[in-house]
């Protein structure tokens, strides 16, 4: 479970979602977590909303990646998948709210 500062559900806007996810990735890089992840995730970033959605999709589609990982690798990959999925859901909530506002 990630610390509360990285939670996406409480992010007040899209900018905060991007900032929190970027901070999480910076934290994980400082711990050298990327060395235990599959090579296909070497370019993992969260610089904007489109990139977050794209990575959330890639991470969700990579279900068999855990077979060759250590227990720590499986754990961290699961946390990263969850964080990107939560960020994508939160971004979708903002988009839906904006569409409803525009339609009104």
Question: Is 39 inside any structural domain?
Answer: yes
Q: Is the pLDDT of residue 25 over 90?
A: yes
Provide the number of structural domains found in the chain. Answer: 1
User: Residue 100's pLDDT is what?
Assistant: 87
Question: Is 6 inside any structural domain?
Answer: no
> How much is the average pLDDT of 68-84?
91
Question: Is 1 inside any structural domain?
Answer: no
Question: Is 32 inside any structural domain?
Answer: yes
> How much is the average pLDDT of 41-49?
92
The residue whose two tokens read 């990575």 is 55
Q: Which domain holds residue 73?
A: 12-103
Question: Is 3 inside any structural domain?
Answer: no
Q: Is the pLDDT of residue 7 over 80?
A: yes
Q: pTM of this prediction?
A: 0.90
Question: Is 27 inside any structural domain?
Answer: yes
Helices (H), 1-104: 14-30, 49-61, 71-103
Angle 30-16-8 (CA atoms, 0-180°, nearest 5)? 80
Question: Is 65 inside any structural domain?
Answer: yes
């Amino acid at each position: 479970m990630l610390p509360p500062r990285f939670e996406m559900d409480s992010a007040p806007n899209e900018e905060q979602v991007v900032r929190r996810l970027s901070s999480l990735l910076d934290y994980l890089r400082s711990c050298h977590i990327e060395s235990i992840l599959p090579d296909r995730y070497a370019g993992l970033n969260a610089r904007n909303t489109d990139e977050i959605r794209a990575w959330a999709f890639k991470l969700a589609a990579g279900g068999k990646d855990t077979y060759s990982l250590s227990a720590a690798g499986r754990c961290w990959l699961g946390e990263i998948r969850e964080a990107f999925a939560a960020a994508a859901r939160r971004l979708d909530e903002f988009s839906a709210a904006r569409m409803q506002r525009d339609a009104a």
